[in-house]
Structure 1
Amino acid sequence: MHKFIEVLPDKTSLISRALSLTVEKIKSAIERRGQCTLALSGGSTPKPLYEALAEQSLPWEKIHIFWGDERYVAVDHPDSNQLMARQAWLDKISIPAANIHPMPTGAQNPAQDAQTHEMELTQFFKVKPGDFPAFDVILLGMGDDAHTASLFPQTDALKVNDRLITVGNKDGQPRLTFTLPLINQAHCVIFLVAGESKRPALAQVFAEVASETIYPSRSIQPQGELFWLFDQAAGAELKV
């Protein structure tokens, strides 16, 4: 793994750096393999990145969009990660509908929908059941509790190492999420972290010794590149 840590002066600089890095990784994946597989994160931090990506001129037909996690709500629900990305970005570009691969949330059964999406990924990436495909780029955020995707502290989802997709749990609310081994198979993972409220968790994520069960973002160790991008408010106190 190659790890890179960058503290940018402010949120605007953070988004600008994330944009240039994401575009660079998209283009290099297309050059290498003729397409790019990109998994998105939810939350408020990446929304301006998606709005900026909508202004880019990229070969959208060669880019496939996925989500690293999804709240278990209808597609048109205000909390939907898919809805946010569509409104900020995907509805504004000429990307083929078949290139957008949302997590299904309509079966009234999160475990069943997790299994359905796992089969979709297995078929798309042409891997054998039980094998983990390698995404080109996975975008992640981090909560004040050090969770990432829907891998929350001290939850069962953290222990799942034989599945691509599992059910996460936030205060009794189910979510679908990539598992740790799926994230860690990626060629490139990019964290976007903003805000002073993240500092206590980050101190533990970057501490020499701390619990991965209590601070799940510590467990993100992809086989490729790992970029941590911070604004000054989040990253000012980091000892790395």
Structure 2
Amino acid sequence: MTPKVDIYPDRQALIAAALETIVARIHTAISERQTCSIALSGGSTPQPLYAALAQADLPWDRLQIFWGDERYVPATDPDSNYGMAKRVWLDLVPIPAANIHPMPTHFDRPQLAAEEYERQTLAQFGLETGSIPVFDIILLGIGDDGHTASLFPHTAALSVADRLITVGDKDGQPRITFTFPLLNRARCAIFLVAGASKQPALAEIFAPTGDIHTYPSRGVQPQGELLWLLDAAAGERLAPR
């Protein structure tokens, strides 16, 4: 799928556009399939988007909320992706608790948590082991190093092809993360990127040739839409001259 790149003048415009884009795709999914499955990203960039979604008028009982990656910390930890979305969005809307599916982080071994989340996800989609769920929307960001989800450069998780969920490694700290096979089944993958510090990585991600082991975000090539929503600071090198 050829990526669609849109560059907005500032972060406020970026968030407004992301909100409009996501709400439209939620309504389309519900119209076509009576439900909408969304995998969330963490970090600071999507936080105002989640706060804006908390003010949206949506059929909350039709949404199924997952996470594309998670730090291996309790939900009460300030670094928890689930905890952030819960505080600024999910606690503020009447979404049924059964529709919220955080990644478990209480197992002694992160690999057990990855395996459990894979089981839970397959069960929620009504699929057998060996199948790959198709998410309606997967939200993603990138790091200055070109990583996405918790797929970091030159780590073992990049080569996992036989699992939906695996353990990522951030400087020795375990993370739980979607793998490329799951990311790339999405109906719509949306990258939300802000800040000038992302310019070097974006230049490599969009270069004609490159290596996903050095810039993992290059490996996200979904069967459906691939949208890159950038603010002007991030997208300066990609903007038409």
Partner of residue 44, structure 2: 44
Q: Deviations over 1:144-193 (max 9, x none)?
A: 00000000000000000110100000000000000011000000000000
> d(CA) in 2 for partners of 1:205 and 1:82?
27
> d(CA) in 2 for partners of 1:126 and 1:64?
13
Letter in 1 for 2:136: D
> d(CA) in 1 for partners of 2:39 and 2:22?
11
**By how many angstroms is 1:2 displaced?**
4.5
Letter in 1 for 2:102: P
> d(CA) in 1 for partners of 2:77 and 2:174?
15
Partner of residue 26, structure 1: 26
Q: Deviations over 1:78-118 (max 9, x none)?
A: 10000000001000000000000000000121000100010
> d(CA) in 2 for partners of 1:197 and 1:219?
21
> d(CA) in 1 for partners of 2:141 and 2:108?
27
Partner of residue 224, structure 1: 224
**By how many angstroms is 1:239 displaced?**
6.4
What stretches of structure 1 move > 2 A for 4+ residues in a row? none
Q: Deviations over 1:33-63 (max 9, x none)?
A: 0000000000000000000000001000000
Letter in 1 for 2:6: E
> d(CA) in 1 for partners of 2:108 and 2:190?
32
Aligned-pair identity (%): 57
**By how many angstroms is 1:3 displaced?**
2.2
- Stretches of structure 2 that go unaligned for 5 or more consecutive residues are none
Residue 117 in 1 paired to residue 117 in 2?
A: yes
Partner of residue 65, structure 1: 65
Question: What's the TM-score, normalizing by structure 1?
Answer: 0.99
> d(CA) in 2 for partners of 1:18 and 1:195?
16
Question: What's the TM-score, normalizing by structure 2?
Answer: 0.98
What is the aligned-residue RMSD (CA, Å)? Answer: 0.9
The 3-state SS of whatever aligns with 2:169 is: strand
Partner of residue 233, structure 1: 233
Partner of residue 142, structure 2: 142
- Stretches of structure 1 that go unaligned for 5 or more consecutive residues are none
**By how many angstroms is 1:131 displaced?**
1.3
Letter in 2 for 1:99: N
Letter in 2 for 1:230: L
- Is the 8 Å Cα contact of residues 7 and 239 (structure 2) preserved in structure 1? no
